[in-house]
Chain A
Amino acid sequence: MSAAIEEMKTKEIRPQRTSETRDNRVRHLTTHLVLILGAIVILFPIAWMISTSLKSQSQVIQFPPIWIPKPIVWENYRNAITIFPVPFWIFGWNSMYLSLGNVIGSIVSNTIVAFAFARLSFRGSRVLFLLVLSTMMLPQQVTMIPLFILFSKLGWVNTYHPLIVPQFFANAFYVFMLRQFFTTIPRDLDDAARIDGCGVLGLFWRILLPLAAPAVGIIAIFEFTASWNWFLGPLIYLSKMETFPLALALSYLNASYRVLWSELMVVSFIAMLPPLILFFIAQKAYIQGIVVTGVKG
């Protein structure tokens, strides 16, 4: 923090008054310089991942490091996905199943709950909504162990039920976010619909839900990314390799073949791609969503 402030001081306080425009240009230039430097730091590990995924065994451990692999070893990709005792596509399928299951669950449950909180008046709504918000602060470790016992007794270990079913019962962040969105839709619309004989469900299904499509989209993207990247949950419940999502497959590879850096980078790269592509396609909506809720990925 103090470094940041220091930086600003040296950059802006200087009483150069030669000309306003020149001053501005210099300021802009330094800003860009700092930002580009930061961007390089941010992008470097990702570039390094890709570069390493194409290096030969000997180049991977060379010091000083080699920037561009020579020769480019495409076989690393084949090696990496055939190293597992089960076909690699299973991991991708599992990740997809986990993510889509959670996306569907969160959309179905959160839209309904948020609609009720935003548009219907009922006794205790205030208290209940505060309760919803307060659960955001709860560290999941407090509920993790009893839930594990519960789901084990149900015979759900090594299935995806413990990882998907709870998402069908609403989630504080998404309820909050959707409710925020619903409240921005003018109430006149409700009144008009009511006068036309629309019931509560009709109001939700035919008027508000279509209008909330952007917010629902944001939740779908959030939830997809979060489930795709989820590690602790799958780690607890899944122990058979054929049930692993990509995150666990990568963790397995890391634990068993730590020296195979290229192959590790290959699988990291593959695991990273879907959320990354989704982010690039929908980055405007994504960033908007974070801004509205203050939720970080």
Chain B
Amino acid sequence: MSISTDSRRLGVGHVPRKPRSRQRSEELMAYLLISPWIIGFALFILGPMLASFGLSFLETNLFSWEYVGLKNYTTLFSTDATRSLFWVSLYNTVYYVFFSIPLTIGAGFFIAVLLNQDMRGRSAYRVIYYLPSIIPGIAASVVWLYLFQPDFGVINWLFSAVGIEGVRWLYDPRTAKMAFVIMSVWGAGGNMLIFLAGLQGIPTELYEAAKIDGAVAWSRLRHITLPLMSPTIFFVVITNIIASFQVFTNVYVMTNGDGGPANSTMMYVLHIYLVAFRQYRLGYASALAWVLFVILLLFTLLVFKSSSLWVYYETEVGGKRE
């Protein structure tokens, strides 16, 4: 599962000995074969990355440009919300990530543990729980928009059954972000599948041995499942942070592309999109994108650094797939 262990197994030196010239020609062939990726990397990744760094020092639309030094960055970090929505959008996004990640990971893990036993209908459950990940994000957003309607939506009908009335959901700055968090939990099935794969790599003998030693279910979970699953959890946390920070489609669709009410759902990527493709402030948008990149890098590093505290690696036993 983890990327680093895999690259270690990279096949250099596995090929049987052969004449030098043939080796040379094979090497040339190899470079030729990977050239689509090299060209693509230069043209669509590295080049644009550097270009966007350069752009972040310009004030530019598609037709003119002017060097403005660090102005984009000073504007960006300005705490005056009329000048910069950076802090607002960062707060909204972090709020969303902060609630959505534990909930989706927890739900995904929970379902995976339930499904990781011999039982009827297992694959049917798996398919059902994964469905939300197959449906176009925009179609799901339209449905959820309808479900969240305050006056005739099903969610408020359910809430009224337990005596909570009149939540305005997407129309109230206090609850709008929560609506997106709730919707994200609906998609927890994606994590479930990855957890399920990890759980199946844990040898059953471990559980049997623990049972004989008198360990109850809770301590089996605590002392066998969780440690052996920690590399998988680690992987999921990282990919989920990166993905959740880029939440866009449902926010765009469900707020009609304005991040309202009162910017309460102005997520970071929506902000970049609006600055770049509605206002055509391409330099400023590039600065925003680079700051996002750095933020994500820092978050990822943080998780990586913390991993020595809670991620348990034992290559001989669990965590490894064949």
Q: Which of B135, B157, B193 contacts A276 (CB 8 A)?
A: B135
Contact B12 A121 (CB under 8 A): yes
Contact A143-B45, Cβ < 8 Å, known A5-B221, A35-B125, A126-B10 = yes
Q: Which of A121, A142, A228 contacts B30 (CB 8 A)?
A: A121
Report if B311 contacts A (CB, 8 A): no
Contact with B along A139-171 (1 / 0, CB 8 A): 111111111111010000000000000101110
Contact A118-B194, Cβ < 8 Å, known A109-B37, A139-B292, A149-B282 = no
Q: How far does the alpha carbon of A112 sit from the alpha carbon of B31 in the complex, in Å?
A: 11
Contact with A along B93-129 (1 / 0, CB 8 A): 0000000001001110111011101010101011111
Contact A28 B119 (CB under 8 A): yes
Subset of 17 A-B contacts with CB under 8 Å: A42-B186, A44-B154, A45-B144, A48-B143, A62-B152, A139-B292, A142-B48, A144-B276, A145-B282, A145-B286, A149-B282, A200-B29, A231-B248, A254-B256, A261-B146, A287-B127, A296-B133
Contact A247-B3, Cβ < 8 Å, known A38-B129, A61-B152, A297-B190 = no
Which range contains the number of A residues in contact with the other chain?
35 or more
Contact B218 A264 (CB under 8 A): no
Contact A137-B135, Cβ < 8 Å, known A4-B107, A121-B12, A152-B62 = no
Q: Which of B15, B136, B189 contacts A275 (CB 8 A)?
A: B136
Contact A1-B106, Cβ < 8 Å, known A45-B144, A272-B135, A296-B190 = yes
Contact B136 A64 (CB under 8 A): no
Q: Is the interface of B mostly helix, strand, loop or mixed?
A: helix
Q: How far does the alpha carbon of A133 sit from the alpha carbon of B5 in the complex, in Å?
A: 12
Contact with B along A81-124 (1 / 0, CB 8 A): 00000000000000000000000000001001101111111110
Q: How far does the alpha carbon of A172 sit from the alpha carbon of B12 in the complex, in Å?
A: 20
Write out the residue numbers on chain A whose beta carbons fall within 8 Å of the beta carbon of B136.
228-229, 231, 246-247, 250, 268, 271-272, 275
Report if B142 contacts A (CB, 8 A): yes
Write out the residue numbers on chain A whose beta carbons fall within 8 Å of the beta carbon of B235.
294
In the assembled complex, the CB of B160 is this many whole angstroms from the nearest CB of chain A, namely 8
Chain A residues within CB distance 8 Å of chain B: 1-5, 7-9, 11-13, 28, 31-32, 34-35, 38-39, 41-46, 48-49, 52, 60-65, 109, 112-113, 115-123, 125-126, 128-133, 135-150, 152, 166, 168-170, 175, 180, 183, 187, 191, 200-201, 204, 225, 228-229, 231-232, 235-236, 246-247, 250-251, 254-255, 258, 261, 264-265, 268-269, 271-272, 275-276, 279-280, 283, 287, 290-291, 294, 296-297
